[in-house]
Structure 1
Amino acid sequence: MKKNVLITGSSSGVGLESAILFAKHGYKVYATMRNLDKSNILKDRLSTEGLRIDILPLDVTDISSIQAAVQNILDKDGRLDILVNNAGAGFGKTTEQATEEEIRWVTDVNYHGVVFCTQAVLPHMRKQRSGQIINITSVGGLVGQPFNELYCGAKFAVEGYMEGLATYVSDAFNIKITNVEPGGISTAFMESAIAKTISEGQLATGEYQAIFEKYMAGNVARANEGEQQVYQTGEEVAGVILKVANTPNPPFRTRTSEWAENFCRLKTQADPDGLKLIQQIKDSFL
């Protein structure tokens, strides 16, 4: 039976590339995005490559939108096999500089959206006694980074939420959970994050300015490191996501590049795939 997959944030970058790649490998794909007006790039790729997928509206900050998309899939297929929580947004500001609205926004998009999408699919995966939830987190979900503390905090929250959830839904209901942790991604996501950081009025000023300028210079240098650069393509990360979906017993967490692996090594070297810790938690509490 052909498995179906719901992918959030599919208008560009990793989400778009994942939708294309899953379709090529025989999955029934539901590509979702907040604004369907941004679906033209995906539609053009589908036409060029002779692929067909379903494109649905889904705003991860709107619970009714999430529920409607999930119900649409259930009405068509009667089941939902894989959720890829991909939608997210970069953000680079000092804590002092960020407004209340921005703090709530970066948390809603990167954390609350993951929780509410997961909440929407869990009852159906539980009833069918199978399912997979793949979350595109970040090395920033394991390692805090300068001027990204609010973004990292939201990604840390996803890691902790999924770590707790995985301890009891995996064995009881055969719902597999994996956090995919990229380093930098050279897509519209990165461009959006940089644009938001350097747009008028958003550069770090005062006593933070010298630190910020050093930070941005480092980003530019790393982006030009050739084959060893930090930034992967959306297609490369999509390949890791597909591999996880096709793995019978997938890891709880996995990095997507050698750079990401090295960057997180002090946090992950004792338990690179996270499965030992999950088992320890089960042994301690269940």
Structure 2
Amino acid sequence: MKQNVLITGTSTGVGFETAILFANNGYKVYATMRNLKKANALKTKIENDQLDIEILQLDVTDITSINAAVNKIINKDGKLDILINNAGAGFAKTTEQATEEEIRWVTEVNYHGVIFCTQAVLPFMRKQKSGQIITITSVGGLVGQPFNELYCGAKFGAEGFMEALATYISEPFNIKITCVEPGGISTEFMTSAVNKTITEGQLATGEYVPIFEKYMAGLQNRANQNENSVYQTGLEVAQEILNVAKTENPPLRVRTSDWAEKFCKLKTSADSDGTKIVAQIKESYL
């Protein structure tokens, strides 16, 4: 029987590429997205290539929606082998300028969504004594960056959640935990994040404006000069996710590019893949 995999946020970008790549590598894929009206591109790919992918509605900010999707998979297959927490939302804005609604939104999507999806699958993985949870975080989950503090805070939270979970879930229940940490990605996600930042009156205001303009100019300059070294394609990141899924004993943390490794080096040099800290915590507490 095929291993099955539930992937969140598959309408575009990394999630879209991951769903297709896993299906092409022999997995049964449940590709989920908040808005099924955005499923046309994936439906066309499924039909043209005869892929074993079923599209389900799942909003990571809605617990009822999450549980409905997970229960549908369990009722159909009797198991769930892999959860890929991919759904996310970019956001760059000063803390002073961000509204309460925006702060709650970026936290809900990038942090609470990871918790709620993981919470939904854990009882089944624990009962079957096997499973894998792969969470797509970011180099922003390790290194804070200007005007990204709300996004980074949510990603830091997701990293801390997965790290703590790994200290007591992995061995007794055979549930593997990994954070996949991309740097820049040339996908609709990146375009959406930038557009959301520079349109609809969301530029920094007041004394922050010159700092923000310098920040944006630096981003654009680095992209223009080093596009191939800084930005990966969605497919390249998807391949790294597949590599994690195929690894017998995957590490807690995986960066997806040389650029990401260099960017995080000061934070990761003592324990590049997170295995040392997990071992130390187990020794200290368990």
Deviation at 1:47, TM superposition (A): 2.6
Q: In 1, Cα distance between the equivalents of 2:233 and 2:62?
A: 29
Q: In 2, Cα distance between the equivalents of 1:38 and 1:276?
A: 41
- Structure 2 contact 27–52 (Cα < 8 Å) conserved: no
- The yes-or-no answer on 1:42 pairing with 2:24 is no
Counterpart secondary structure, 2:55: strand
Q: In 1, Cα distance between the equivalents of 2:57 and 2:169?
A: 28
Query: Which residue of 2 is the match for residue 272 of structure 1?
Result: 272
Could you report, residue by residue, the CA deviation over 1:104-142 in whole angstroms, capped at 9, with x for unpaired residues? 000000000000000000000000000000000000000
Q: In 2, Cα distance between the equivalents of 1:228 and 1:44?
A: 29
Letter in 2 for 1:159: E
TM-score (norm 1): 0.98
Identity of aligned residues (%): 74
Letter in 2 for 1:73: I
Query: Which residue of 2 is the match for residue 210 of structure 1?
Result: 210
Query: Which residue of 2 is the match for residue 105 of structure 1?
Result: 105
Q: In 2, Cα distance between the equivalents of 1:49 and 1:20?
A: 9
Tell me whether 24-33 or 201-210 shows the greater mean CA deviation.
201-210
CA RMSD of aligned residues (A): 0.9
Could you report, residue by residue, the CA deviation over 1:22-45 in whole angstroms, capped at 9, with x for unpaired residues? 000000000000000000111122
Q: In 2, Cα distance between the equivalents of 1:119 and 1:51?
A: 28
Letter in 2 for 1:235: L
Query: Which residue of 2 is the match for residue 123 of structure 1?
Result: 123
Letter in 1 for 2:145: Q
Q: How many residues align?
A: 286
- Structure 2 contact 85–114 (Cα < 8 Å) conserved: yes
Counterpart secondary structure, 2:201: coil
Counterpart secondary structure, 1:144: coil
- The yes-or-no answer on 1:285 pairing with 2:285 is yes
Q: In 2, Cα distance between the equivalents of 1:32 and 1:89?
A: 15
Q: In 1, Cα distance between the equivalents of 2:250 and 2:176?
A: 7
* Residues 108/8 of structure 1: CA separation in 2 closer, same or farther (3 Å cut): same
Letter in 2 for 1:276: K
Query: Which residue of 1 is the match for residue 18 of structure 2?
Result: 18
Query: Which residue of 2 is the match for residue 257 of structure 1?
Result: 257
- Structure 1 contact 166–176 (Cα < 8 Å) conserved: yes
Could you report, residue by residue, the CA deviation over 1:54-95 in whole angstroms, capped at 9, with x for unpaired residues? 000000000000000000000110000000000000000000
Q: In 2, Cα distance between the equivalents of 1:18 and 1:268?
A: 26
- Identify unmatched segments of 5+ residues in structure 2: none
Counterpart secondary structure, 1:270: coil
- Structure 2 contact 7–85 (Cα < 8 Å) conserved: yes
- Structure 1 contact 228–259 (Cα < 8 Å) conserved: no
Letter in 1 for 2:188: A
Counterpart secondary structure, 1:179: strand
Q: After the TM superposition, which residues 87-106 of structure 1 pair with which residues of structure 2 at under 5 Å, given as runs?
A: 87-106=87-106
Deviation at 1:257, TM superposition (A): 0.2
- The yes-or-no answer on 1:177 pairing with 2:177 is yes
